Amino acid sequence: KQEVTQIPAALSVPEGENLVLNCSFTDSAIYNLQWFRQDPGKGLTSLLLIQSSQREQTSGRLNASLDKSSGRSTLYIAASQPGDSATYLCAVSLTQGGSEKLVFGKGMKLTVNP
């Protein structure tokens, strides 16, 4: 059974720091890995999608890497800002019962202090 883990569960940093968020998964047979952002009481916003054949994706101040063999992904946030405060979730896409499904980690709550 695929399990996705995000450690730590919460992180508080001063503005301007470069951050690394970690995600690990137990089964390397994935189609892709996706990072999301969730603001309190809101839905999920897709940040980056890394296909299983890729090693990294970049969007603005965000960079995500994927190492399938070791079951790990990292989300790098450069020059963090208070507006980056949110919960960040990673999810892996896999086939289960003939359909493609997402398995989520519990998320990491990030607070960037001004």
Partner 1 sequence: GAVVSQHPSWVICKSGTSVKIECRSLDFQATTMFWYRQFPKQSLMLMATSNEGSKATYEQGVEKDKFLINHASLTLSTLTVTSAHPEDSSFYICSAPDGRAVNTEAFFGQGTRLTVV
Long-range residue pairs from 7-13, CB within 8 A, at least 24 positions apart, any chain: 7/108, 8/108, 9/106, 9/107, 9/108, 9/109, 10/108, 10/109, 10/110, 10/111, 11/108, 11/109, 11/110, 11/111, 12/110, 12/111, 12/113, 13/80, 13/110, 13/111, 13/112, 13/113
For position 45 contacting partner 1 by CB under 8 A, the verdict is yes
Count of positions (residues) in the chain: 114
> Which range binds partner 1 by CB under 8 A, 20-28, 33-41, 63-71, 73-81?
33-41
34 forms part of the interface with partner 1 (CB under 8 A) = yes
Interface residue with partner 1 among 51, 81, 95, 111 (CB under 8 A) is 51
35 lies in the site for partner 1, by CB under 8 A:
no
Binding test (CB under 8 A) with partner 1, winner from 2, 11, 27, 31: 31
Query: Is 104 near partner 1 (CB under 8 A)?
Result: yes
Which ranges of the chain would DSSP assign to H, the alpha helix?
none
Which member of 107, 108, 110, 112 binds partner 1 (CB under 8 A)? 107
The residue ranges that bind partner 1 (CB under 8 A) are 4, 9, 31-32, 34, 36, 41-46, 49, 51, 89, 91, 93, 97, 99-102, 104-107
